[in-house]
Amino acid sequence: MSSSRENFQGGVFHASIPGGRAGANVSIVRGELIADTSGEPTQRFSIPLSQCKLDLGGATGRMVFCRTSDGSLTIFSEDKSFAKELDFQSGGVLAGQLSTLKKGQRAESNRFGFWLAVSAVACAALLVAGYYGVLSAAKVAMRALPVSVDEKIGTMAFNSMEVGRKLDANHPASKLVQEIVDKLKPHAKLPDMKFKVSVVEGSEVNAFALPGGQIVVYTGLIKEAKSAEQIAGVLAHEMSHATLRHGIERVGQSLGVVAAIQLLIGDVGGLLALGAQVAQTSILTSYSRTSETEADLEGVRMLHAAKIDPKAMADFFEMLKQKMGDLPDAVAWISTHPQHETRVENIQNHQKKLPEVQYEPLQLDLKTAQDAL
Ligand SMILES: [Zn+2]
């Protein structure tokens, strides 16, 4: 056996120490484990290695304890090389005990690894659930906002968009569109919504709604329409996006967590600023399939209630679909309303469920409006 090679940071448990415990400088000298306490005055304790009852413990499970057989004195260290040094200095006396401890430690660390993996999976699941939870909470929270928020976001969006030149309110096309909106408005789901329609110069067969009731109709769409009822169909669909608050829902979805937090802290101003950022993207005018179907069906309900034949809505979609090839600009509306295969059928089926009513043709001069464009 060699003399002490190393000192280890450690400690002692003994009744003679005030508090029963003290930090100590631990060393192994000629087969004896020696601990010199770090307090003043320093006390020396020793255990012959041959009498060590070894044990593992501490917060990390890596602390090595050497106890006397009666348990009255314990010397310990957490130093990584302490166990190795004990093995070396004891000349094999402690080898059996040490290997038993190691096996136990491996099992312990395997268990630890297992629980770590389980915890990681659980955390990941919670995070994912939390994320979607916050998203759906954001959706619900957005819907709980007053419609005035929709109006503000819609106005900001409209002002930040480059939509082309707006036709004068006295233009026959503007008047025609306004008259249709006025006819549909009393049947809107949110009767207090202030619809603002702008007819904008542009060859694309397009129309869109912004949150709060801002609606934009391109002159291209008016030119392509075969009847005022077809325009009414598109307008009813767009008005429904506004009354069903699809835009604000989109804002909630895309801002998600940030929006939810701002709502939680009641920062509607910050939310509006964020909404304006979103407004500058196309997010506000491209809705989910579910929203499109909802807008179709709500649009049919509005048309029906206004005694306008909802068949015109389906006809218009059908016409656009067929024209897509030779009318590249028609793609605009179709591209934001992609599921036209099933939608015509859906509209027709939905119409069949409504009580029978005598539809009244719109007394509007589409020809004059078109000729003025
Ligand atoms: Zn739509």
pLDDT at position 95 = 84
154/121 Cα distance (integer angstroms): 42
Is the pLDDT assigned to residue 174 strictly greater than 90?
yes
Q: Domain boundary at 51, 85, 105, which?
A: 105
Q: Domain boundary at 53, 76, 105, which?
A: 105
Q: In what order do the strands lie in the sheet with 196-200?
A: 196-200, 214-218, 207-210
Cα of 215 from ligand 1 centre, angstroms: 11
Residue 266 has a CB neighbour count (10 Å cut-off) of 9
299/308 Cα distance (integer angstroms): 11
Cα of 105 from ligand 1 centre, angstroms: 64
Higher pLDDT: 75 or 272? It is 75
Domain membership of residue 1 (yes or no) is: no
Cα of 83 from ligand 1 centre, angstroms: 73
Is the pLDDT assigned to residue 331 strictly greater than 80?
no
Domain membership of residue 252 (yes or no) is: yes
Domain membership of residue 265 (yes or no) is: yes
Q: What is the mean pLDDT of the chain?
A: 81
> Where does the pLDDT of residue 301 fall: very low under 50, low under 70, confident under 90, or very high at 90 and above?
very high
Cα of 68 from ligand 1 centre, angstroms: 83
Same domain membership, residue 246 and residue 355: yes
Q: Domain boundary at 74, 105, 136, which?
A: 105
Same domain membership, residue 264 and residue 179: yes
Cα of 268 from ligand 1 centre, angstroms: 27
Share of the chain above pLDDT 70, in %: 73
Higher pLDDT: 132 or 12? It is 12
pTM metric for this prediction: 0.60
Domain membership of residue 160 (yes or no) is: yes
Same domain membership, residue 158 and residue 39: no
Cα of 362 from ligand 1 centre, angstroms: 23
Same domain membership, residue 159 and residue 208: yes
Cα of 347 from ligand 1 centre, angstroms: 13
Same domain membership, residue 160 and residue 303: yes
pLDDT tens per residue across span 338-358: 566 677 888 888 888 888 889
User: CA 182, 183, 186, 189: dihedral to nearest 10 degrees?
Assistant: -90
| CA nearest to 339, candidates 291, 267, 278 | 291
Task: Judge contact between 207 and 235, C-beta under 8 A.
Answer: yes
Cα of 77 from ligand 1 centre, angstroms: 72
Domain membership of residue 81 (yes or no) is: yes
Cα of 154 from ligand 1 centre, angstroms: 16
Mean pLDDT value across residues 167-179: 97
> Where does the pLDDT of residue 299 fall: very low under 50, low under 70, confident under 90, or very high at 90 and above?
very high
Same domain membership, residue 351 and residue 206: yes
Residue 223 sits in which domain range?
A: 145-371
Task: Judge contact between 173 and 219, C-beta under 8 A.
Answer: yes
> Where does the pLDDT of residue 131 fall: very low under 50, low under 70, confident under 90, or very high at 90 and above?
low
Cα of 219 from ligand 1 centre, angstroms: 18
Cα of 364 from ligand 1 centre, angstroms: 24
Question: CB-based contacts of 65: which residues, under 8 Å, 6+ apart?
Answer: 54, 55, 56, 57, 74, 75, 76
| Protein residues near ligand 1, an ion, with CB under 5 A | 292, 295
Is the pLDDT assigned to residue 263 strictly greater than 60?
no
Same domain membership, residue 275 and residue 192: yes
Domain membership of residue 117 (yes or no) is: no
Domain membership of residue 116 (yes or no) is: no
pLDDT at position 34 = 93
- CATH label of the domain that carries residue 11: 2.30.29.30
Return the HEC string of 175-229.
Answer: HHHHHHHHHHHHHCCCCCCCCEEEEECCCCCCEEEECCCEEEEEHHHHHHCCCHH
Cα of 46 from ligand 1 centre, angstroms: 85
Same domain membership, residue 210 and residue 93: no
Mean pLDDT value across residues 153-182: 89
Cα of 325 from ligand 1 centre, angstroms: 21
**CA of 91: how far to CAs of 32, 95, 250, in Å?**
12, 8, 74
317/312 Cα distance (integer angstroms): 9
Question: CB-based contacts of 191: which residues, under 8 Å, 6+ apart?
Answer: 185
DSSP 28: E
Same domain membership, residue 289 and residue 223: yes
Mean pLDDT value across residues 114-124: 57
Is the pLDDT assigned to residue 98 strictly greater than 60?
yes
Which range among 77-86, 148-157, 262-271 shows the weakest confidence by mean pLDDT? 262-271
Question: CB-based contacts of 270: which residues, under 8 Å, 6+ apart?
Answer: 262
Cα of 292 from ligand 1 centre, angstroms: 5
Which range among 122-131, 185-194, 340-349 shows the weakest confidence by mean pLDDT? 122-131
Domain membership of residue 121 (yes or no) is: no
Question: What's the total number of domains in the chain?
Answer: 2
365/228 Cα distance (integer angstroms): 8
> Where does the pLDDT of residue 1 fall: very low under 50, low under 70, confident under 90, or very high at 90 and above?
very low
Mean pLDDT value across residues 240-252: 85
pLDDT at position 2 = 45
Same domain membership, residue 101 and residue 183: no
pLDDT at position 237 = 93
Same domain membership, residue 175 and residue 98: no
Same domain membership, residue 227 and residue 99: no
DSSP 294: H
Mean pLDDT value across residues 25-36: 90
